[in-house]
Amino acid sequence: MIAQILSPILVSVLVIVGGLYTLWAFGSHFPCANEQALARAVIGRRGITRMPSRRSCLLNAFWLFAAAVLAAWLGGYFTLPLPDFPRKVLMALMGFAAGIAFLGRGIIGVLPAFERATPELPFLTLNRRVYSPLSFLVGLGFILLVLSLPNWSWRLGLA
């Protein structure tokens, strides 16, 4: 039940953010007026005036799209032709890894050291209000998807 609700939400969020990174890789400044404003809103490093390279933006987009595919897989929207046990172990390991990565970004993003390294406005405000909480929630979503895999949910009362 949880997976059927949570998986499409995670897929949507990750595809939207991945799509934004793809747009930025090809020179779009959406939703800002120019490249400097976008870099200050998205990257936030001290004195930043340009967005990272096309390659960096596309690499971020790739990993976000890969995480969206993982969320769909964990939600049961497709399966891989593997034996049952290795498939479940792979799903659990990849899901927990994605969850830890996003949870980590969400937690690290609000630490004082991170905020000192990325002091540019509006990034600092956006990071506190949007980026870090969204990363934390996506990570929590991946952990919940793994815990709701078949043969696990009965132990946690999530079925």
The 10s digit of each residue's pLDDT in 97-124 is 999 999 999 999 999 999 898 888 999 9
Compute the half-sphere exposure of residue 112: CA atoms within 13 Å on the CB side of its CA: 0
Report helix, strand or coil for 20.
Answer: helix
First-to-last alpha carbon distance for the chain, in angstroms, is: 6
Question: What is the pTM (predicted TM-score) of this model?
Answer: 0.89
Phi/psi for 139 (5° steps) reads -60, -45
Q: What is the pLDDT of residue 87?
A: 83
Q: What is the pLDDT along the chain (159 residues), one digit of tens a residue?
A: 788 899 999 999 999 999 999 999 999 999 999 999 999 999 998 889 999 999 999 999 999 999 999 999 999 888 888 887 788 888 999 999 999 999 999 999 999 999 898 888 999 999 999 999 999 999 999 999 998 887 654 454 444
Domain boundary assignment for the chain: 2-156
The answer to whether 95 and 70 have CB atoms below 8 angstroms apart is: yes
